[in-house]
Amino acid sequence: MSMNSNDKEKIHMPNFTELWKDMYFKTEAAWADAFKELISTQTFVGMINKALEQNLSNENVTRQMMDKYMEMNPVPSKKDIARVAELVISLEEKIDQLEFQFSHTMTRMADSLIKMAEHQAGLKEEMNNLQQSIVKMEKKLETVNKKVNTAKKETRVTKKKDTSAPSEG
């Protein structure tokens, strides 16, 4: 009998994990059925449509207010900044092209100036040679003039002698 008394004294403890799982799945099924019924009603569909319309209306109002705000306050948008960036890049390219053209033009001008300076140096040397030649020619011309003048004087003197000699004789 002592064994029987042990069996009677044993208390059977329920498994709380199994109870919890059972309760969870039954509750989940009940809620799923309730939501299926709710979702399939026209009331729910109307409520969702109204919520969607209200959200779209709020979105439009917000967008309009932002557009007005952006018009009144000079805050650039991403598009504005992107456009300015494109313009800056384009301007940089044009500046690079101008810089290249300027450099090329300056190089050509410098080469031309060097050639002109060399040509001027040659012309200056030629002019100096011409001046020296002119000076030599002037000296020769002077000596020729002197000789011509002396020859004229001699011919006058001889003519005078010739004209004076027949009258004396």
116 neighbors 108 (Cβ within 8 angstroms):
no
- Whether the predicted model's global pTM rises above the 0.95 cut: no
The pLDDT tens digits along the chain (169 residues) read 455 555 567 787 888 899 999 999 999 999 999 999 988 899 999 999 999 999 999 999 999 998 888 788 877 888 889 999 999 999 999 999 999 999 999 999 999 999 999 999 999 999 999 999 999 999 999 999 999 988 888 888 787 777 766 555 4
Check residue 102 and give its pLDDT. 95
Check residue 12 and give its pLDDT. 78
Check residue 1 and give its pLDDT. 46
- Using CB atoms within 10 Å of the CB of residue 61, give its burial: 0 to 12 exposed, 13 to 18 middle, 19+ buried: exposed
132 neighbors 139 (Cβ within 8 angstroms):
no
Positive or negative CA dihedral for 122, 127, 133, 135? negative
